């Protein structure tokens, strides 16, 4: 090519080359890392680059998921129009036609079967504004009591335990900045290295400052590799491990009696209970050498300050509520809470796992963490919503129980917003059948997920890059996600879609919002005086301060960074110690001759939840494109399983097939499978539907299974 032509092409390229910068916040985990997506158009080709943006929580860090999250937002499979299932296939229709269909179906079903024949199912990825609107939509526009959300599988055990023991459920009682100053840390059932990677520098700094780190996990995860002591607990036996630690602290006279007397109740019963235990018996039950539990107890009790963090490993159990209570007992017994460098943290899961559980998409909850059973709370919210208190429905049921009601035909229609229950619920085969049996099923999603596949109508939702709003991160810091990309085709923000549906059902006046900020201002009022009080928080304040902590009761209130310094939030101001028996009355699935191994489930770094979003990313898929079973070499040998081969895993409920990954990092009696994949790799086909009686959490972290080399069906 001649020099002249090259010059011509170069100039032409420069003219058409454009760069757009989108401000965003990662859609995935509770760290809510701030970022910018930079779109470069060169001739007709688009190229994307992501950079982190400095902020007080993550300092501009991003993990591999955040770096690649633009791939699903710009994916060609994004829904652009409402899609109606006609003769078994989806066809694009207009918004008018979609709304008309809803107007024909919903009132008719309600007339025939009553208002509670409709269910509403939300998610922890939704903004605070959408979560708030979803609760109002269910209770006012549909008048149904059946609303719940995927956070039931996520935060419910920790939330109930926090509420009952301490009087408030805010993920972390202290801000992240205090972690580097603490001297002993227990990480119980949390794999932060893979699940909240950008939190790691706080812990690494603590370690450099001399903190002793204890990890409780049946597997040696990347998180456990950072630990000074790894307690390789038997799945579902964390209660016993915590009891051993409590017993040792008590016996060795290390309990903080002054703190216990001034700030707690229930100590007498706890002491009697501890007197009846032995460390050895608890250790045996937990599957951990007793010397290691004693070491953990001494390290924690002797440290000047200490923090305990829990996550789904101990919480997703049929007694997850009690497990968290027993770890909170350790903090209270040693007086390590409500002080600098001492406190509790439930590591929140989803982007808005925290805010999503505060503003009314939970069966028993009204905005501001108000209770739907409390007459005053009901009256207050009814006034904000312009309805009569007596018309407000009561408490519904939890997410999985809603699936059971669908299966029984009691709920005939479902609005699903931001969740994929066929992959994420326990007993997934039953759930799939239930979903298929619905008379009228509307899903609001960016994609046709495995569940939306069965919908009669799928409404196209905006992605995180297009939908502005607030999300509350794991610290309890309310952040503002700016979004400046245009949503593709005719897709819309969730809150706009819900408002349009409410409008067609006759509630236009109460759902006449023009912006997310307008909804937030109503939410502020609705939360005023509640436990999760957002009244003092405004978009302007969040922009200026880069996030405001709740509770924040007025615009001059700086927000509460550390909880419980002077009093706990329970009536009377004391925290509650609770006896957690070594063998409690909530039996878990036990291994047997037929099903000899414990199965536990969880996550890997590169994928997110049911994988609908991360499986769309070629970069993330390249890291791991299929599921696997982590199995100990001794166990693998016993079951004739070799490395990198297909394995069939069976439980009393079903079977799946995944590839083997043989590793000494897992207990011999346990296997691990992630839950990011569908169909024959959907591990929830193996998990039972039994629930924790207090918080209704399923036991995702312990089932009984057997394994065998995969054999092709003849």
Ligand X SMILES: Nc1nc2c(c(=O)[nH]1)N[C@H]1C(S)=C(S)[C@@H](COP(=O)(O)OP(=O)(O)OC[C@H]3O[C@@H](n4cnc5c(=O)[nH]c(N)nc54)[C@H](O)[C@@H]3O)O[C@H]1N2
Does residue 188 belong to the site contacting ligand X (CB under 6 A)?
yes
Of residues 45 through 84, those in contact with ligand SF4 by CB under 6 A are: 62-63, 65-66
DSSP E strands in 82-143: the ranges are 83-86, 89-92, 118-122
Which string of b and e fits 474-487 if b means at least 16 CB within 10 Å? Answer: bbbbbbbbebebeb
Task: Compute the distance between CA of residue 181 and CA of residue 456 in angstroms, rounded to an integer.
Answer: 54
Task: Compute the distance between CA of residue 171 and CA of residue 534 in angstroms, rounded to an integer.
Answer: 16
Q: Is the preceding omega at residue 551 within 30 degrees of 0, hence cis?
A: yes
Helix (H) or strand (E) holding 696, with range, is none
Q: Please, what is the minimum distance in Å from the beta carbon of residue 607 to Mo ion?
A: 13
Residue choice 168, 176, 186, 233 for contact with ligand X (CB under 6 A)? 233
Q: CA 361, 363, 367 angle in degrees (round to 5)?
A: 45
**Residue 32 interacting partner from ligand X, Mo ion, ligand SF4, none (CB closer than 5 to 8 Å by kind):** ligand SF4
Does residue 154 belong to the site contacting Mo ion (CB under 5 A)?
yes
> Which range of residues in 49-57, 148-156, 527-535, 545-553 is near ligand X by CB under 6 A?
148-156
Residue choice 117, 131, 174, 196 for contact with ligand SF4 (CB under 6 A)? 196
CB 81 within 8 A of CB 92: yes
Instruction: Using alpha carbons, list the distances in angstroms from residue 283 to 57, 242, 246, 577.
Output: 37, 9, 12, 21
Does residue 614 belong to the site contacting ligand SF4 (CB under 6 A)?
no
Query: Among residues 471 and 563, whose Cβ is nearest to ligand X?
Result: 471
Q: Are strands 440-445 and 413-417 parallel, antiparallel or unpaired?
A: parallel
Does residue 346 belong to the site contacting Mo ion (CB under 5 A)?
no
SS3 at position 174: coil
Cα Dmax for the chain:
92
Secondary-structure breakdown of the chain: helix, strand, coil percentages, each rounded to the nearest 5: 40, 20, 40
Q: Please, what is the minimum distance in Å from the beta carbon of residue 683 to ligand SF4?
A: 21
**Residue 298 interacting partner from ligand X, Mo ion, ligand SF4, none (CB closer than 5 to 8 Å by kind):** none
Does residue 494 belong to the site contacting ligand X (CB under 6 A)?
yes
In DSSP notation, 515-565 reads: SHHHHHHHHHHHHTTSSS--TT--HHHHHHHT-EESP--STT----SS--S
Does residue 610 belong to the site contacting ligand X (CB under 6 A)?
yes
Task: Compute the distance between CA of residue 352 and CA of residue 475 in angstroms, rounded to an integer.
Answer: 11
Task: Sketch the per residue contact string, 528 through 557, with ligand SF4: x for CB under 6 A, - otherwise.
Answer: ------------------------------
Q: Please, what is the minimum distance in Å from the beta carbon of residue 221 to ligand X?
A: 4
Of residues 11 through 30, those in contact with ligand SF4 by CB under 6 A are: 26, 28-29
Q: Please, what is the minimum distance in Å from the beta carbon of residue 196 to ligand SF4?
A: 5
Q: Please, what is the minimum distance in Å from the beta carbon of residue 195 to Mo ion?
A: 9
Residue choice 600, 617, 648, 660 for contact with ligand X (CB under 6 A)? 600
Closest CA to 679 of 400, 414, 420: 420
Task: Compute the distance between CA of residue 385 and CA of residue 141 in angstroms, rounded to an integer.
Answer: 11
Of residues 57 through 116, those in contact with ligand X by CB under 6 A are: none
Does residue 189 belong to the site contacting Mo ion (CB under 5 A)?
no
Does residue 351 belong to the site contacting Mo ion (CB under 5 A)?
no
Task: Compute the distance between CA of residue 463 and CA of residue 461 in angstroms, rounded to an integer.
Answer: 6
> Which range of residues in 31-39, 161-169, 440-448, 489-497 is near ligand SF4 by CB under 6 A?
31-39
- Which residues have CB under 8 Å from 6's CB, separation 6+? none
Which residue reads 């859609």 in tokens? 27
Q: Please, what is the minimum distance in Å from the beta carbon of residue 210 to ligand X?
A: 25
Residue choice 320, 338, 349, 469 for contact with Mo ion (CB under 5 A)? 349
> Which range of residues in 7-15, 393-401, 640-648, 695-703 is near ligand X by CB under 6 A?
695-703
Query: Among residues 31 and 531, whose Cβ is nearest to ligand SF4?
Result: 31
**Residues in binding contact with ligand SF4, number by CB under 6 A:** 13
The H-assigned helical ranges of 197-319 are: 200-208, 238-251, 257-263, 267-275, 279-286, 290-302, 312-315
**Residue 335 interacting partner from Mo ion, ligand SF4, ligand X, none (CB closer than 5 to 8 Å by kind):** none
Task: Sketch the per residue contact string, 518 through 537, with ligand X: x for CB under 6 A, - otherwise.
Answer: --------------------
CB 531 within 8 A of CB 369: yes
Does residue 424 belong to the site contacting ligand X (CB under 6 A)?
yes
CB 23 within 8 A of CB 53: yes
Instruction: Using alpha carbons, list the distances in angstroms from residue 257 to 222, 274, 334, 335, 466.
Output: 37, 15, 8, 8, 53
Interacting residue ranges for ligand X, rule: CB under 6 A: 29, 123-126, 150, 153-154, 188-191, 194-196, 216-219, 221, 233, 235-236, 238, 311-314, 316, 349-350, 417-421, 423-424, 444-447, 449, 461, 494, 600-603, 605, 607-610, 612-613, 672, 675, 683-684, 687, 700-702
Chain positions contacting ligand SF4, by CB under 6 A = 26, 28-29, 31-33, 62-63, 65-66, 196-198
User: By the criterion CB under 5 A, which residues form the site for Mo ion?
Assistant: 154, 349
């Amino acid at each position: 090519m001649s020099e002249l032509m090259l010059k011509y092409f170069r100039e032409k390229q420069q003219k058409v080359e454009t760069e757009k910068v989108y401000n965003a916040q990662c859609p995935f985990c509770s760290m809510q890392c701030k970022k910018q997506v930079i779109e470069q158009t060169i001739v007709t080709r688009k190229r994307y680059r992501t950079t982190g943006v400095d902020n007080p929580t993550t300092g501009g860090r991003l993990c591999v998921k955040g770096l690649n999250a633009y791939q699903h937002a710009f994916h060609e499979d994004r829904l652009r129009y409402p899609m109606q299932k006609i003769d078994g296939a989806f066809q694009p229709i207009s918004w008018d036609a979609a709304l008309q269909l809803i107007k024909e179906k919903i009132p008719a079903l309600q007339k025939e079967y009553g208002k509670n024949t409709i269910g509403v199912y939300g998610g922890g990825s939704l903004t605070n504004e959408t979560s708030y609107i979803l609760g109002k939509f269910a209770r006012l526009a549909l008048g149904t009591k059946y609303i719940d959300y995927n956070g039931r599988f996520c935060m419910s055990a920790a939330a109930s335990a926090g509420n009952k023991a301490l009087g408030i459920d805010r993920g972390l009682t202290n801000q992240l900045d205090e972690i580097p100053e603490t001297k002993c840390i227990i990480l119980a059932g949390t794999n932060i290295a893979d699940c909240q990677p950008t939190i790691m520098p706080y812990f690494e700094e603590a370690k450099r400052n001399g903190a002793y780190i204890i990890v409780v996990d049946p597997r040696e995860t990347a998180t456990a590799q950072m630990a000074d002591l790894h307690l390789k607990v038997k799945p579902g036996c964390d209660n016993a491990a915590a009891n051993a630690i409590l017993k040792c602290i008590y016996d060795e006279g290390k309990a903080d009696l002054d703190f216990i007397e001034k700030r707690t109740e229930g100590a007498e019963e706890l002491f009697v209970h501890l007197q009846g235990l032995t460390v050895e018996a608890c250790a045996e039950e937990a599957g951990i050498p007793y010397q290691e539990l004693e070491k953990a107890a001494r390290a924690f009790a002797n440290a000047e300050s200490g923090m305990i963090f829990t996550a789904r490993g101990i919480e997703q159990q049929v007694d997850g509520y009690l497990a968290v209570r027993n770890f909170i007992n350790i903090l209270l017994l040693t007086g390590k809470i409500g002080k600098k460098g001492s406190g509790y943290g439930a590591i929140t899961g989803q982007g808005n796992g925290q805010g999503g559980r505060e503003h009314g998409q939970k069966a028993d909850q009204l905005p501001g963490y108000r209770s739907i059973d409390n007459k005053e709370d009901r009256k207050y919210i009814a006034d904000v919503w312009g309805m009569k208190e007596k018309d407000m429905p009561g408490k519904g049921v939890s997410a999985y129980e809603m699936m059971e009601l669908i299966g029984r035909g009691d709920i005939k229609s479902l609005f699903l917003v931001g969740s994929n229950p066929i992959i994420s619920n326990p007993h997934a085969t039953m759930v799939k059948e239930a979903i298929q049996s619905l008379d009228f099923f509307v899903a609001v999603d960016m994609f046709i997920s495995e569940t939306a596949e069965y919908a009669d109508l799928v409404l196209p939702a905006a992605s995180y890059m297009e939908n502005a709003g607030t999300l509350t991160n794991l610290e309890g810091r309310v952040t503002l996600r700016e979004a400046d990309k245009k949503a593709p085709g005719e897709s819309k923000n969730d809150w706009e879609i819900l408002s349009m549906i409410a409008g067609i059902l006759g509630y236009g006046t109460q759902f006449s919002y023009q912006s997310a900020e307008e909804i937030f201002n109503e939410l502020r009022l609705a939360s005023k005086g509640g436990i999760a009080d957002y009244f003092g928080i405004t978009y302007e304040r969040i922009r200026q301060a880069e996030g405001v902590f709740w509770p924040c009761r007025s615009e001059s209130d700086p927000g509460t960074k550390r909880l419980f310094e002077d009093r706990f939030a329970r009536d009377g101001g004391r925290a509650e110690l609770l006896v957690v028996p070594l063998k409690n009355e909530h039996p878990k699935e036990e291994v047997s001759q037929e099903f000899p191994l414990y199965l536990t489930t969880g996550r890997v770094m590169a994928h997110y939840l049911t994988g609908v979003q991360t499986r769309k990313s070629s970069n993330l898929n390249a890291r791991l494109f299929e599921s696997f079973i982590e199995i100990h070499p001794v166990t693998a040998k016993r079951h004739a399983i070799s490395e990198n081969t297909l394995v069939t895993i069976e439980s009393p409920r079903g079977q799946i097939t995944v590839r083997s990954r043989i590793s000494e990092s897992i207990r011999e009696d346990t296997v691990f499978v992630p839950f990011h994949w569908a169909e024959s790799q959907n591990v929830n086909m193996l998990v039972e539907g039994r629930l924790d009686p207090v918080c209704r959490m399923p036991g995702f972290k312990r089932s009984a299974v057997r394994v065998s080399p995969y054999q092709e069906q003849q």
